[in-house]
Structure formats: C-alpha cells, structure tokens
Amino acid sequence: MKQKHEKHAPNHERWLVSYADFITLMFAFFVVMYASSKADLKKQAAVAQAINSAFQSLGLFQSPEKEQNKAAAALATSQDAPVSPMNVVMGEQMMASSEVREDLERIKKHLERLLSNQIARHVVAIRIGRDGLVISLREAGFYESGSAAPQPESVRTLDEIAEALRTTPYDIRIEGHTDNVPIHNGQFDSNWELSTARATRLARMFIVAHHYAPARLSASGYAEFHPVASNDSADGRSQNRRVDIIVLPSMTAPARAPAVVVRDLKPEAINAALARPLPAASR
C-alpha cells in the first residue's frame, strides 16, 4: 500500500538565507576596507626608500641621508599616528645630482667672495633655490628707476659675474622683475616691458661683451607677478625690483664659449657694443 507523503507548507522564511549572505558579504567588505586603511608604515617607508633610490640612480633627486633616516624612523615608530597618503614631493628641493649640487655650491662661495662688498650693501643676494643658483641684482645698485640700461658704475660688477659664470658648463636664465607700481614713460608702457627689456639687455651684454654662446642664455620678464617680498612696504618693493641671473642645473653641459678677456673693457666700450646689432649666432 503506497504511503501518502505529507504536503509541506511553503517556507516563508527563506529570505533569511539571502539576508544572512548579504550581511556576511557586507561584513567582509568593511573588514577589508578597515584593513586597507591601516597601511603598514614600515612597508611604506621601504617603498619611499626604493623610490628615492631610483631617483638617485637616475641622477634626478638627492636628499641627505640623515633626512632619509629620520623620515624612515618616524614612519616606523609612529604606529599610532594617523596615516596620510604617501606622496613623492619635491618641494624646494633642487633636481640635480650631488656632483652638480657641489659644483653650484662651489660657484656660490666663489661669487660670495667676489661680490662681498655688494652683498654687504644689500644690492646683490646669492642663494641656491629649486631652479638652481640664483644671483639677484637689486635695482638700487644697478638701474635707474624706469630704465633698462645698467648704470655705468655697475658694469664692472656685471663684468665680474659674467666672467665667473662664463667658464661653467651650465645654461643661464635671466629674469626681470618689478614691483606693483604701474609705469608709463617714454620707453615703456608697462612693467612687463621694463622687466623684459632689462633681462634681454643683460643677456645681450653677456653675448656681445663676453662672447657667451647664445644657446646658453634665455631671458624673460615677469613684471610684478613673482615677488620675493610684500609690495605693501617700500623695502619690500625695493626687493622685488630686481634682475635674477639663474645658473640652471642642466644635466648635459652645453658647448663652452671661446675664452675672451674683457677685464680691460671700459663701460663706454661695452655700452657702444650694446648699441650695435647682435652678430648672427653660429649654427
């Protein structure tokens, strides 16, 4: 005799299985998210060291070993500190090999000895920044207000700077800067024109009077838009009125210009040379 199977009533709680699976997945997701937010700082320090070593091997970035060790130790010991995203930040660090850095330091010390009187009078400032070795010439010691022509008594100082840099293997960028006081005279309608004229005239002097290879030089004017001090005070405006000669830490040394002795040139001779058209650059 066949047994009759009892009919099972439909289970209205099957949704609990899917709900439990969903809750389990959500729990696993948040566990993974929490674990990934707690980065291993020791591994992070190792990654930072590896990136820094790669830059060093390419000659692009050097940082002092003491700073590297301090950074690694801080990352390794600050386990309870909040974790910030790891970034490779150059900041104000100059991108150059240690050899180039040492060479620019040597040039800086030589110029500081050579221009000690001008530095003491605060008409010349020398520093090493992110772009390279910066020689700042204040307007007060080199230019009449609103003029792009160097004062005759400043030509000897410019001559000494040009001679000190002429035998180096680096490119040079000359930048003109002004304060934010508008200008309008018979020569220039704006600070843009004045700053650019000062930079290009000095570059012209390097080429004509000192026989720099034109390919080594570049000139640009920034008007009042790259100040080094506040324009709200007379002293700040005087610092902003400047021409910066920047020795660039180029990785490849350009061809050097032929040696030319210009110590005996008088300011009148240089000004006369500057008035003549530039010679055609050799190619």
Which segment of 32-36, 119-123, 246-250, 273-277 scores lowest on mean pLDDT? 273-277
**pLDDT above 70 as % of the chain:** 64
CA 153, 155, 158, 164 torsion-angle sign: negative
- Residue 85: what pLDDT? 36
Q: What is the pTM of this model?
A: 0.59
Radius of gyration of the chain (CA): 32
Residue 242 has pLDDT above 60, yes or no: yes
Q: Where in the chain is the domain with CATH 3.30.1330.60?
A: 98-275
Average of per-residue pLDDT across 29-51: 70
Q: In this structure, what token pair is assigned to residue 187? A: 């020569």
49 or 207, which is more confident?
A: 207
pLDDT in tens, 57-70: 555 455 555 455 55
pLDDT value at residue 82: 42
* Confidence category of residue 251, pLDDT binned at 50, 70, 90: very low
Average of per-residue pLDDT values in the chain: 77
CATH classification of 98-275 is 3.30.1330.60, yes or no?
yes
For every residue of 209-266, which 3-state class applies, written as one string? HHCCCHHHEEEEECCCCCCCCCCCCHHHHHHHCEEEEEECCCCCCCCCCCCCCCCCCC
Q: Which of 192, 173, 177 is nearest to 240 (CA)?
A: 177
Pick from 107, 115, 110: nearest CA to 159? 115
Per-residue model confidence (pLDDT) at position 264:
41
Q: What is the distance between the alpha carbons of residues 133 and 100, in angstroms, rounded to a whole number?
A: 11
- pLDDT digits over 184-232, tens only? 888 899 999 999 999 999 999 999 999 999 999 999 999 999 999 999 9
